[in-house]
């Protein structure tokens, strides 16, 4: 154990032995020095702190007198069980226990987990191990913009999967969407820049915009996406769009609205930020290519990420800048440290280059397509018309409108008592069933349990025979 926490200052008026006494006392009271622990010998500590033995001895004696330490002849000084009337407060009380015990979860429809069967864990572990064995790599700093090997792999991957037109030089890597947006805000704006996004908005993006002093303007939406009149009349030059995954409906933007958005950008010199989170994860409909490529790589900044495709614990995202923004980025590139783990970046580069990523994606598409049908069928069979279902394709979840007078919160609670964990939509008004995490063969049982939990509070079906 080092004793660097002992604070002595010759410039203070208090004598050194008193300072030492207070330092040790605080360490005992805060639990940093634990009962039974032996302190360094007087000589050793004096030597270490470069003070006299008398100073250390005086402090130790005082602490013994006050019951913080006990001297054992021939053995040294030991910390006593702290039993102070008024223990020192750390600046924040420890707080409530972190996990409240509840009924055990048997079926998890939370949107924050993935089915371990979906995970290409063995291959991923091998990639990580391969990188770890290359000492020269982990013993050096990474590139500010992200590892070239990964940018190169993403240039080909994003073109192949999503029709994104970006050379490796145009791609910036980061630990997810937020750090990338932070950099982007720096490139885009002066203060008071306004950015438009469709209602209800995307919380994490809004947070970054507002932290960067941007004004966020919410656009009303219609069936096809954000209303164009609202965008035009807002007068903004910057719009944040999630074309593959609208928060409001979980639906994809049709090509017509995409073309309108591109026309808007080219006519007013505006910039579209295309958030394509898990955009390659379509399994019901054929994926619609990214706006960025449709616009020929101009006026669209594309942002992609991997959490649901790979492993939720891997935080890697990337953005493709427009030529103009790239030029600005280059001027200050060295001012931005890379946020993504170098080891994970290189593992991902190999994973993509070797074709494993594409194979895995094909597997996921099949898996999610089957899970989705299975869940939807099971829900219809169990609930009939008392529940209506809206599929959110890329978020891998279904929004349920339950015919009941019960509050949504209570419905969650009833479900949990039967061991089924379900979530709610962002506004808390509807039930959200994520199906990424639940194993395929448990879907029917889980829905049965859910029905058992809710059957007494459902409104009567009108048409049930």
The residues in 217-256 that bind a copy of itself, with binding defined as CB under 8 A, are 254-256
Which span (174-182, 222-230, 234-242, 388-396) binds a copy of itself, by CB under 8 A?
174-182
Which span (55-63, 170-178, 267-275, 389-397) binds a copy of itself, by CB under 8 A?
170-178
What does DSSP assign to residue 194? E
Contact in structure between 45 and 37 (CB atoms under 8 Å): no
Give the orientation angle of helix 53-65 with respect to helix 42-49, to 10 degrees.
120
From 47, 52, 54, 167, residue interacting with a copy of itself (rule: CB under 8 A): 167
The sign of the torsion formed by the CA atoms of 375, 380, 382, 383 equals positive
CB of 369 to a copy of itself, least distance (A): 15
Contact in structure between 311 and 351 (CB atoms under 8 Å): no
CA–CA gap between residue 203 and residue 208 (Å, rounded): 9
Question: Is 427 among the residues that bind a copy of itself (CB under 8 A)?
Answer: no
- List the beta bridge partners of residue 389: 400
Angle at 7 between CA 34 and CA 89, to 5 degrees: 55
From 63, 183, 231, 253, residue interacting with a copy of itself (rule: CB under 8 A): 183
- Among residue numbers 25 through 64, which ones bind a copy of itself (CB under 8 A)? 30, 32, 49-50
Query: Phi, psi (5° rounding) for residue 108?
Result: -110, 105
Question: Is 410 among the residues that bind a copy of itself (CB under 8 A)?
Answer: no
- List the beta bridge partners of residue 302: 274, 320
Does residue 410 come out as left (phi exceeding 0), alpha (psi in the -120 to 50 range) or beta? alpha
Question: Is 121 among the residues that bind a copy of itself (CB under 8 A)?
Answer: yes
Question: Is 186 among the residues that bind a copy of itself (CB under 8 A)?
Answer: yes
From 39, 59, 69, 208, residue interacting with a copy of itself (rule: CB under 8 A): 208
Question: Is 212 among the residues that bind a copy of itself (CB under 8 A)?
Answer: yes
Contact in structure between 123 and 351 (CB atoms under 8 Å): yes
**Closest C-alpha among 143, 141, 176 to residue 336:** 143
CB of 323 to a copy of itself, least distance (A): 5
What does DSSP assign to residue 416? H
CA–CA gap between residue 444 and residue 465 (Å, rounded): 22
Contact in structure between 280 and 286 (CB atoms under 8 Å): no
From 16, 79, 142, 446, residue interacting with a copy of itself (rule: CB under 8 A): 142
Question: Is 82 among the residues that bind a copy of itself (CB under 8 A)?
Answer: no
Query: By C-beta, is 287 or 395 nearer to a copy of itself?
Result: 287
- Among residue numbers 296 through 355, which ones bind a copy of itself (CB under 8 A)? 296-298, 307, 311-315, 322-323, 326, 332, 334-344
Query: By C-beta, is 50 or 74 nearer to a copy of itself?
Result: 50
Question: Is 356 among the residues that bind a copy of itself (CB under 8 A)?
Answer: no
CA–CA gap between residue 69 and residue 25 (Å, rounded): 9
What does DSSP assign to residue 38? B
Question: Is 90 among the residues that bind a copy of itself (CB under 8 A)?
Answer: yes
From 65, 83, 86, 141, residue interacting with a copy of itself (rule: CB under 8 A): 141
From 73, 83, 97, 192, residue interacting with a copy of itself (rule: CB under 8 A): 192
CB of 465 to a copy of itself, least distance (A): 37
Q: Which two tokens stand for residue 354?
A: 């070797």
Query: By C-beta, is 43 or 215 nearer to a copy of itself?
Result: 215
Which span (64-72, 185-193, 222-230, 414-422) binds a copy of itself, by CB under 8 A?
185-193
Query: By C-beta, is 207 or 385 nearer to a copy of itself?
Result: 207
**Closest C-alpha among 178, 205, 109, 202 to residue 399:** 109
Query: By C-beta, is 362 or 377 nearer to a copy of itself?
Result: 362
From 85, 95, 104, 269, residue interacting with a copy of itself (rule: CB under 8 A): 95
């Amino acid at each position: 154990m080092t004793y660097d926490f002992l604070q002595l200052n010759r410039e203070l008026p208090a004598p050194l032995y008193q300072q030492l006494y207070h330092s040790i006392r605080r360490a005992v009271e805060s639990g940093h020095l634990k009962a039974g622990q032996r302190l360094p010998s007087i000589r050793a500590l004096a030597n270490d702190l470069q003070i006299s033995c008398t100073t250390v001895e005086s402090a130790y004696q005082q602490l013994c007198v006050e019951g913080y330490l006990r001297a054992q002849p021939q053995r040294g000084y030991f910390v006593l069980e702290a039993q102070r009337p008024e223990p020192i407060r750390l600046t924040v009380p420890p707080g409530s226990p972190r996990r409240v015990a509840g009924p055990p979860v048997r079926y998890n429809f939370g949107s924050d987990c993935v089915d371990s069967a979906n995970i290409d864990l063995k291959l991923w572990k091998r990639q990580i191990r391969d990188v770890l064995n290359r000492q020269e790599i982990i013993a050096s700093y990474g590139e500010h913009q992200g590892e070239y090997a990964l940018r190169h792999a993403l240039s080909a991957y994003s073109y192949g999967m999503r029709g994104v037109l970006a050379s490796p030089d145009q791609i910036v890597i980061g630990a997810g969407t937020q750090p990338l947006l932070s950099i982007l805000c720096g490139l885009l704006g002066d203060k008071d820049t306004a950015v438009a996004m469709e209602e209800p908005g995307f919380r994490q993006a809004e947070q970054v915009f507002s932290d960067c002093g941007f004004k966020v303007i919410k656009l009303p939406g219609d069936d096809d996406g954000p209303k164009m009149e609202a965008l035009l009349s807002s007068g903004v030059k910057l719009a944040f769009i999630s074309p593959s995954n609208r928060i409001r409906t979980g639906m994809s933007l049709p090509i017509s609205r995409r073309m309108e958005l591109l026309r808007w950008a080219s006519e007013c010199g505006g910039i579209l930020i295309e958030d394509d989170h898990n955009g390659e994860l379509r399994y019901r409909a054929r994926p619609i290519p990214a706006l960025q490529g449709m616009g020929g790589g101009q006026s669209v900044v594309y942002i992609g990420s991997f959490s649901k495709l790979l492993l939720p614990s891997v935080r890697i995202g990337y953005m493709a800048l427009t030529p103009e923004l790239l030029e600005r980025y280059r001027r200050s590139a060295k001012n931005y440290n890379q946020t993504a783990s170098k080891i994970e970046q290189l593992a991902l580069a190999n994973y993509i280059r070797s074709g494993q990523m594409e194979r895995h994606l094909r597997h996921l598409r099949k898996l999610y397509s089957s899970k989705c049908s299975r869940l939807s069928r099971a829900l219809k069979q169990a609930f009939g018309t008392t529940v209506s279902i809206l599929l959110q394709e890329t978020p891998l979840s279904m929004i349920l409108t339950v015919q009941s007078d019960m509050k949504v919160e209570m419905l969650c609670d009833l479900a949990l008592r039967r061991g089924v964990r379900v979530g709610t939509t962002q506004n808390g008004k509807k039930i959200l069933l994520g199906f990424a995490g639940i194993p395929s063969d448990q879907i029917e049982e889980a829905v049965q349990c859910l029905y058992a939990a809710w059957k007494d509070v459902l409104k009567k079906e009108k048409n049930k025979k």
